[in-house]
Amino acid sequence: MAVLAGETPDMVPIVPVLDGYFAPKVLGRASDECWLNGGCLADCLAAALERFGYDGAVAEMGLGPQPSVLGCPVEVEGNDVPLVVENIIGGREDLDRLELHDPWAGGKMEPVKRLIGSVGARAVVLGTVRSPFEYAATVRGLIEFMTDFYRDSEFVRDLIEACKPATLAVGRALAQAGVDALVIKDSFASSSMISPAHYEEFAYPAEAEAIGELKTEVPVILHICRNSMPILPRMARTGAAVLEIDAPVDLAAAMEAVEGRVVIKGNIDAVAVIEKGSRESVEQAVLSAIAAARGRGPFILSTGDSIPISAPEDNVAALVEFGRRHGKYQGAEPWS
């Protein structure tokens, strides 16, 4: 919290993207059980925080904030991730099929409150919501959506606009439920997927608008995974307090690009290091991240993206252990 308030803490805070993908494993539950039953997910997230002792939990409401909030059917089976089973937008004529469901309906915010109740006193709790661009891609189907960029750019813009209320409604509901900050996921806006020019044209406007409105309630963290280097300076101008960056980005260069104006959160490789690496490679990755960030501005140690369920628990524990061991600030200058 000190970092979000603009202060220098005495230790590098550690908030990995340990969310609904990995958390079920901690209590030996199946993914589908947790995605469908938010109470189970809340308990797993709390248990993970308890077990590993990092500084912030990532609240997910089960399938609530998924595209089902816009009337898109989603299913999940066993340890698979949730799948959208029908892309409800086949074209412009379907725009009125988008109906915004109340994020509070059916007790969907209860798990978030439950998580805050159990860990809120000792850790920050982050709520997760998708950007209008990401909702649009999901209700249309990613391939059709990106083909539309050249086929009908006006439709793309209208669809994104039509999805914005979902981002705002879920964001506000989470803020009301009491989260300390919101993570806005805009994964498809990544320069690993679309050009910086398309980011500027389609993703940025709605992203910045949504952040502008939501940050009046709580600070906002903007997540764009894979390569975000070309658009980082722009992301830093969305009004987000924190930018979550992924492993392909050079951490030192990223921190220099934003010149300390926003907090950088990242960027240990969730797959190569946490899922597939050894204890030694986790230490190495933590050491180089902390070294890259030192002296360059406010920093939160994190994975670059969600930790997969197949990652070993020992590597998550090692991330926190080495983060604590190597993450002490010691100089007179802030962040040194």
Partner 1 sequence: MELIEQFQQAIVNGDADRGADLAEAMVTEAEVTPDEIMDSLARAMEVVGGRYETGEYFIPEMLRSADAVERSLAILEPYLFKRRHDQAGVVVMGTVKGDIHNIGKNIIISALRASGYEVHDLGVNVSTSKFINKVKEVDADLLLLSAFTTSTKPALVDVIKALEAEGLREKVKVVSGGASHSAELAGEVGVDGFASDVKSTLAVCRRLMDQRRE
Using CB under 8 A, list all residues that contact partner 1: 80-81, 83, 142-143, 146-147, 149-151, 191, 193-195, 198, 271, 276, 308, 310
The distance of Cα 191 from the centroid of its chain, to the nearest Å, equals 17
Q: Does 66 bind ligand B12 (CB under 6 A)?
A: no
Q: Does 317 bind ligand B12 (CB under 6 A)?
A: no
In the complex with ligand B12, the residue whose CB is nearer, 54 or 335, is: 54
**What's the token pair of residue 289?**
């991240």
Shortest CB 146 distance to partner 1, Å: 4
Q: Does 31 bind ligand B12 (CB under 6 A)?
A: no
Among 108-116, 151-159, 194-202, 302-310, which window interacts with ligand B12 (CB under 6 A)?
A: 302-310
Instruction: Report the half-sphere exposure of 58 (CA within 13 A, side-chain side).
Output: 23
Cβ distance 306 to 284 under 8 Å? no
Where are the strands (E) in the chain, listed by range? 56-59, 74-75, 83-84, 124-130, 181-185, 220-223, 242-244, 263-268, 299-303
* CA 62/CA 37 separation, integer angstroms: 6
Shortest CB 69 distance to partner 1, Å: 20
In the complex with partner 1, the residue whose CB is nearer, 150 or 280, is: 150
Shortest CB 276 distance to partner 1, Å: 8
Q: Does 81 bind ligand B12 (CB under 6 A)?
A: yes
Q: Does 144 bind ligand B12 (CB under 6 A)?
A: no
In the complex with ligand B12, the residue whose CB is nearer, 207 or 305, is: 305
The distance of Cα 292 from the centroid of its chain, to the nearest Å, equals 22
Question: Binding partner of residue 151 among ligand B12, partner 1, none, CB under 5 to 8 Å per kind?
Answer: partner 1
**Which residues, 6+ apart, have CB-to-CB distance to 173 below 8 Å?**
103, 104, 109
Count of residues in the chain: 336
Helix, coil or strand: residue 264: strand
Shortest CB 229 distance to ligand B12, Å: 13
Q: Which residues bind ligand B12 (CB under 6 A)?
A: 21, 80-81, 142, 187, 192, 226, 270-271, 305-306, 308
